[in-house]
Amino acid sequence: MAESSVSLDTTSRNAVELIGICKTFPGGVHANKNITLRIREGEVHGLLGENGAGKTTLMNILYGLLTKDAGRIIIKGEEVELQSPQDAIVRGVGMVHQHFKLIPPLTVAENVVLGLEPILVSTKMESHLGGWSVKSVGVLSQILPVDLSAAEKRIVAIAEENGMNIDPKSKVMDLSVGQQQRVEVIKTLYRAADILILDEPTSVLTPQEVDELFVTLSKFKEQGKTIVLITHKLREPMILCDRISVLRDGELVGTVNREDTSPEQLARMMVGRSVSFTVEKPPKEPGSKVLSVTDLVVYNAQGLVAVKGVSFDVHEGEILGIAGVEGNGQTELVEGIVGLRKPKNGQVLVNGKDLTGKSPRKVRNAGVSHIPEDRHKKGLVLPFTIQENLVLGRHADVPFATGPRRMLLNLQESRRVSKDLVQTYSIKVSDVSSSAQTLSGGNQQKVVVARELAAQPKLLIAAQPTRGLDVGATEFIHQVLVGMRNAGLGVLLVSAELDEIVNLSDRIAVMFGGKIVAIRKPSDTTVEELGLLMAGHEVAGGSDER
């Protein structure tokens, strides 16, 4: 039963009607349970819910990536049976996925026209598809060449029309995450989509890129496009959406008008209980140094200096937050500490032990746990099972290793521990033997966090630990981090979420241009001052370094 709902306006034409949609995956996971959802033409409709609530599954059904078990799909008044994304595309539905579907070595233009290669694009023809409908692709596939030059011109025009800036000749591998997302958006517009589904569009963006995305979405709305915004965050729907539908455990809880709701009510609808947006952090006197970084210099993958002589300490019983716009050396700093990148100069001490340039295994064995910012590249082995991922890093140690010289894996023990972690961290999965790539992005992040915290480290280095997590899971992770701090552990927190840094940190170090430009206590600074420091502006006041 819906906790809160609004009556449907029958005078408004619906762009999409999903009626009684049901979907069950192998293993018995009921992702969608008899969901009925109507999305009006020209509105921004928020689809809100925790990780694993069924949001992406429902939209994948609308996009033709998944087939429904039951129910009806009506697009622009026509009831349809979608067998593939092509069926959705020809009806004007486009989708930008949370994890982008791009080929890094290809250029922007090549990625955009991928799947439309047979069409001869001409600026003289009536439409941006060269006068041909998308349905014609199969027929023309053997006879028409690709006119990349015309495609590039059209891509530039689409970008300019929608407040985006992109070079169609650039290779995707050379673009930032935010620019890659723009490529995905342009792909949908290139295919004449007027119903756009955006899956967690802000989960990997910097605050500046989020603001740019908001501008783009506002332009979409002005053009009369229908937008479905899948998100677990509360800020986006409260700013952008006309109406917001909330899913929980595969069911529709309710649909509300933005002006009739609040973040607190939405959070309660999402998780079924009240959620605290502040963290109780009792005063604590920091102990001895657990991490000492001195004059650290680290180069990036392009051979340029990314970390320029950085020095700081982390003490037992404190959280040191690293604030800064992404791309100012935070990634290389963390990698230089944990052994993923060898420093060119400087020193890293953990509890007095020199770990400078040591391997990740030696760093881990010294009591350091690491939550990496990119869960796919550095946090998980996606083809491995959830059970295997949850014991990675400890798999060669007792109790997970047994037999002569610990050469055998104790699968029974790893399964028992994995089940406990799945329950403790509310990881939504049918079986720990399932592949990690079958999980939603947020649940993948929970696997990484659970594994690293279960190692009972002396020092935790957490880079974007709540990226991709919903409000309930974020609240839980915040409580865990503060609990570790209260128990006397040292925590180095790197986050692009300034509110997260301010709420959790005992001290805040601001990075800009590969340097720490200031260290502040949260009580002695403001968000405005931190923002200026992050942008490279000098602010009077000096550092608060110990």
Can you name the residues that pair with 493 across neighbouring β-strands?
A: 321, 462
pLDDT at 144: 54
pLDDT tens for the chain, residues 1 to 546: 344 333 344 346 999 999 999 999 887 788 999 999 999 999 999 999 987 789 999 999 999 999 999 999 999 999 999 999 989 998 999 998 887 889 999 999 999 988 775 444 433 333 444 444 444 444 444 455 667 888 898 899 988 888 788 899 999 988 877 788 889 899 988 888 899 999 988 766 666 677 788 888 888 888 899 999 998 888 889 988 999 999 998 999 999 999 999 988 998 898 887 776 677 788 888 999 999 999 999 999 889 999 999 999 999 999 999 998 778 899 999 999 999 999 999 999 999 999 999 999 999 999 999 999 888 888 999 999 999 999 998 888 888 888 888 888 888 889 999 999 999 888 888 789 999 988 877 788 889 989 998 998 999 999 988 876 777 778 888 888 999 999 999 999 998 788 889 999 999 999 999 999 999 999 999 888 888 888 787 765 544 444
pLDDT at 540: 59
pLDDT at 138: 46
Output the 3-class SS for 279-338. CCCCCCCCCCEEEEEEEEEEECCCCCEEEEEEEEEEECCEEEEEECCCCCCHHHHHHHHH
Which token pair is 108?
Answer: 């922007």
Q: What Å distances lie between residue 61 and 18, 83, 99, 440, CA to CA?
A: 10, 9, 17, 15
Rounded Cα distance between 83 and 79, Å, is 13
Cβ-Cβ contacts under 8 Å for 318 (sequence gap 6 or more) = 284, 286, 485, 490, 491, 506, 507
Rounded Cα distance between 416 and 433, Å, is 12
Closest C-alpha among 427, 484, 479, 483 to residue 450 = 427
In contact, 484 and 510? CB cutoff 8 Å: no
Which token pair is 23?
Answer: 């979907």
Q: What Å distances lie between residue 255 and 17, 201, 318, 486, CA to CA?
A: 14, 21, 42, 40
For residue 8, which phi and psi values (nearest 5 degrees)?
A: -80, 135
Q: What is the mean pLDDT of the chain?
A: 85
Strand, helix or coil at 231?
Answer: strand
Cis, peptide link before residue 522, omega less than 30° from 0 = no
In contact, 509 and 323? CB cutoff 8 Å: yes
Determine the length of the chain: 546
pLDDT at 234: 85
Instruction: Please give the torsion angle defined by the CA atoms of residues 47, 53, 57 and 63, in that order, rounded to the nearest 10 degrees.
Output: 0
Which token pair is 93?
Answer: 């539905």
For residue 226, which phi and psi values (nearest 5 degrees)?
A: -95, 130
pLDDT at 160: 86
HSE-CB of 326 using CA atoms within 13 angstroms: 18
pTM of the model: 0.68
pLDDT at 426: 82
Strand, helix or coil at 463?
Answer: strand
Burial call 50-70: b when 16+ CB within 10 Å, e when fewer: bbbbbbbbbbbbbbbbbebee
Which residue ranges form the domains of the chain, and what is each CATH number? 289-367+457-534 (3.40.50.300)
Which token pair is 508?
Answer: 């805040």
pLDDT at 78: 94
Instruction: Please give the torsion angle defined by the CA atoms of residues 59, 60, 63 and 64, in that order, rounded to the nearest 10 degrees.
Output: -140
pLDDT at 541: 55
Can you name the residues that pair with 197 across neighbouring β-strands?
A: 95, 228
Instruction: Please give the torsion angle defined by the CA atoms of residues 326, 328, 334 and 339, in that order, rounded to the nearest 10 degrees.
Output: 120
Q: In sequence order, which ranges of 356-454 are alpha helices (DSSP H)?
A: 360-365, 386-391, 411-424, 441-454
Rounded Cα distance between 170 and 178, Å, is 14
Rounded Cα distance between 45 and 257, Å, is 10
pLDDT in tens, 157-167: 988 888 788 89
